[in-house]
Structure 1
Amino acid sequence: MLKAVGQALFSTGLQNPGFTPAEKQGQDYETRTYNASKWVSTTLTGTDWDAAMSTGFRRLFKYIGGTNQNKAKVEMTAPVSCFVEPGAGPTCESKFTVSFYIPVEHQATPPEPSDPDVFIEHRKEFTAYVRTYSGFSNEQMKRDELLKLLESLKRDGVEFVDQPFYVAGYDSPFKLTNRRNEVWILKQKPE
């Protein structure tokens, strides 16, 4: 019980997806190749990034709390990722896929979701450029950090696709200091 409370309040001891860091890193970003893995996900459309993240998080939290076919409780993991497929214009709807990494003990056979809006996602191995930042992240911070990462990649002349992209948060809302957030730009378009 204390472990679960500690994890929720301080985001410590949470499982993370496996990745291999590149030998050569940028001066203000990392290059990571994420292993193929399973995530529990939900997709929403809209123009409000923060609202989509909040709704998606709640759906997935119910899944790990036991609202699944097995009624199994699943450990919280980090990060909470959001795959963003931007709309065509500034006021067009974007597609947001919010995801929790499935813990190692459930990777082979994750509990099937009982909510029709929740699904198990099989992510293939992919390489991403990752910029880390702190604080309580919001839509404007995510956009600013994404632009900084894009500028760094252009400066360094590396191969990348500017969209879709990921944003990721590692901390509970109750953690007040040393917060960790990331933006991920993909090296290649996902298959």
Structure 2
Amino acid sequence: MIYFSGLVVCLLVLTAEAYVGYSSLTECAEAKQCVLFNVTCNTDDYEVRSYESVKVAGTIVRASTLEKALVTGYSRLLAYFNGSNDMGVSMDTVAPAFVRVPHKKDSDYFIQLALPAEYQGEPPIPNDNLVFFIQSLPTTYYVRGYYGWKTGENDQKESKSLANDLDSAGASYIQEYHFSAIYNKQVPEGNMYNEVAFVASGEPVCED
């Protein structure tokens, strides 16, 4: 685990080689690079994924809802990626955007975007001191994807449903928060691909 300003940040996933780069996944079609992962197993209710360590740009937002946290936090990160840095360079954003969603009201949301492969070693320094870097640790996620608007209501509904299925399967996972992944831009018809995920504790459960 990584500690930042008293906030425990458990990020990406367990074994395998997974970095940042080109992906043939349909959900990554809008981005030039994606955070790559290996699939450990699938069940009817969720997917178990492994990610490796990557460097991410992140920011912390105290907000009452996911929507408010995204408006503030994502705009900070986009400013950095669009040239608000010491080199004045613009970088392509990497999909997906990850949000650590707390399960208490008016808590800290952690919004993050992985840095492109060419800037993983020496990224430009943000002009905004509210944007910072961390090196994620390998972790394991239980993941569920869904289509629709990325709203707090939909996110809560899907994460609760995933948690219920994990409980039924006897899976052990961190329950104080979950992660929300956003792959696509908001579109009028709302048919965007999103994911919710919990960090697995111990050996993942791969059977229904």
TM-score range, shorter chain: 0.7 to 0.9
Pair 1:12 & 2:26 matched: no
When you count helix as a share of all residues, which structure comes out higher?
Answer: 1
Among candidates 39, 55, 64, match of residue 38 of structure 1 = 55
Rounded to whole Å, the distance in 1 between the matches of 2:93 and 2:63 is 26
Partner secondary structure for residue 28 of structure 1: coil
Cα drift, residue 182 of structure 1: 0.4
Change (3 A) 1:121 1:144: same
Cα drift, residue 11 of structure 1: 5.2
TM-score in terms of structure 1 length: 0.85
Rounded to whole Å, the distance in 1 between the matches of 2:121 and 2:72 is 27
Partner secondary structure for residue 16 of structure 1: strand
When you count strand as a share of all residues, which structure comes out higher?
Answer: 2
Rounded to whole Å, the distance in 1 between the matches of 2:194 and 2:74 is 15
Rounded to whole Å, the distance in 1 between the matches of 2:128 and 2:102 is 23
Query: What's the % identity of the aligned pairs?
Result: 26
Change (3 A) 1:106 1:177: same
Pair 1:186 & 2:193 matched: no
Partner secondary structure for residue 136 of structure 1: coil
Among candidates 110, 117, 130, match of residue 123 of structure 2 = 110
CA RMSD of aligned residues (A): 1.8
Unaligned runs of 5+ in 1: 1-9
Among candidates 156, 167, 174, match of residue 169 of structure 2 = 156
Q: What amino acid is aligned across from residue 82 of structure 1 in structure 2?
A: V
Pair 1:122 & 2:135 matched: yes
Change (3 A) 1:61 1:175: farther
Cα drift, residue 14 of structure 1: 3.1
Unaligned runs of 5+ in 2: 1-27, 203-208
Q: How does 1:40-189 map to 2 (within 5 A)?
A: 40-87=57-104, 92-174=105-187, 176=189, 178-188=191-201
Runs of 4+ in 1 over 3 A off after TM superposition: 174-178
